[in-house]
Amino acid sequence: MVDGQGIPLAVSLTGGNRNDVTQLEPLLDKIPAVAGRVGRPRRRPDALLADRGYDHDKYRRLLWQRGIRPVIAKRGEPHGTGLGTFRYVVERTIA
């Protein structure tokens, strides 16, 4: 999980046969407090951008319950919605 500039916030290493979705909640729990403005440090992002693999109501509800706005690509819709422009930050960080 990275921020908007590609700075890693949380990392989880699993076997190649594990589904990424199983690691969503543990990764959210690993995000450290982020200092910035005066006051209590932030412990969660405003929004989470994800690809079609996370397109399920269960994960949208999980994010809304934590106060995080889900921005998840829909399955079965054509590409070109613009979400990929932001999502590829993760791939560039890993590369």
pLDDT digits (tens, 9 = 90+) for 60-95: 999 999 889 998 878 887 766 555 555 567 777 777
Report the share of the chain in percent with pLDDT over 70.
86
CA-CA-CA-CA dihedral for 37, 45, 40, 93, to nearest 10: -70
Query: pLDDT at position 65, please?
Result: 93
Q: What is the pTM of this model?
A: 0.72
Going from the C-alpha of 48 to that of each of 15, 20, 24, 59, the distances in angstroms are 24, 15, 11, 11
Tell me, what DSSP letter sits at residue 70? Answer: E
Contact 41, 33 (CB under 8 A): yes
